Amino acid sequence: MPIGPGSSLPEAPHRRLSRVLGQGLVDLFQHPPILDHDWFEPVLRESWLYRPYSASAMAGMMAGTELLDNWVEQRQGYVAGYRLGKDVDDFWGFETRIGGAFVRLDDTPLAQAAQQAADDAAGLSPDDPYRRRFDAGREADLFQWDVDLLYYPCGDAPLRPYGMFGLGLMHVSFIDRLSQPFSEIMYTMPLAIGLKRRCTEYAAIRLEIADTLAFGDRLDTFHEFSLTAGIELRFGGTRKAYWPWNPGRHYW
C-alpha cells in the first residue's frame, strides 16, 4: 500500500484493542454508571405511568427475632411471594403482597432442659432415640399478606428508589421443644426500602430490604428482616398513537 503525504500507517489490531480498552476504563472510573445523571432523569421514551400496573415475583432470605421470650428463637430462612400494584402518579403507588416463608428455629437452654425433664418423667432411657427428635432442627411456617403504600422520591426515573409502608396479617405456626403447637394470626406493619430498574418497556428488576413488625396475643411481638430480589412485569394504561402525524412506533 503506497504511503503519500497526509497518510499514515494503519494501526495494528493489538494496539487498537489496547487503546479502546484503556479509554473504556478511563471513562468507567471518571463516570461510573451508577452515578450517571441519566439514571435519575425522566424516562424519555416511555413513562412508568404508561404501564402503571405491575405484577412481580420475589424470593430471598429472611431472619427473625424471638417468638417466645427465653423459649423459642428464630434464625435464618427463605421467603418467596408475589405482588400486584399500581402507580397512581410519578411519586406514589400502592400494591398488595402475598408470600410465605420457612424460618429455622432454635431453643434456649431453658427449653432444652424442660424437654429433658419431660423425657425423664416419661420414663425414656438415656439412649432412647426419641430424645434426639429435635436434633435435625425444625422450622416455623409463616404466611403473610399486606397492602402497602410506595413513595418514589426520584419520580419518573429509570433507576427508581422507593420507600414502603404497609399494614397486613401474618399466620405463624410451629411446635416448641415440648411438642406444644402454636398457631396465631398476627397483625403486621412492614417497612422497606427498595430499588427498581427498568430493563425493557415491559420489565424491571427489583431489590428490597424490609422489616416486618408482627404483634399479637399469644406470641411475643417480633421482627422479620428480609432481603429479596425479583422481576416486575409492567402492563396496562391507555395507548395513544398520532398516526399519520407521528409515525413513530413508540407511544407516549
Cα–Cα distances in Å, from 62 out to 157, 170, 226? 29, 14, 4
Domain 49-235 has CATH 3.30.70.60: no
Domain boundaries, the chain: 49-235
Helix, strand, or coil here: 110? Answer: helix
Separation between Cα atoms, residue 90 and residue 240, nearest integer Å: 19
Stretch 101-107: mean pLDDT:
96
pLDDT at res. 153: 96
Are residues 70 and 89 in contact, defined by beta-carbon separation less than 8 angstroms? no
pLDDT at res. 21: 52
pLDDT at res. 252: 42
Give the tens place of pLDDT for each residue, 188-224.
999 999 999 988 889 999 999 999 999 989 999 999 9
Band of pLDDT at residue 94, cut at 50, 70 and 90:
very high
Neighbours of 40 (CB within 10 A): 15
Are residues 186 and 224 in contact, defined by beta-carbon separation less than 8 angstroms? no
Place of cell 401474618: 170
What is the reported pTM?
A: 0.76
Separation between Cα atoms, residue 185 and residue 141, nearest integer Å: 12
Separation between Cα atoms, residue 184 and residue 180, nearest integer Å: 13
Neighbours of 130 (CB within 10 A): 9
Separation between Cα atoms, residue 35 and residue 67, nearest integer Å: 42
pLDDT at res. 250: 46
Comparing 1-10, 29-38, 169-178, which segment has the lowest mean pLDDT?
29-38
Comparing 42-56, 71-85, 90-104, which segment has the lowest mean pLDDT?
42-56
The amino acid that residue 192 corresponds to is A
Q: Is the pLDDT of residue 62 over 70?
A: yes
What does the mean pLDDT of the chain come to?
A: 85
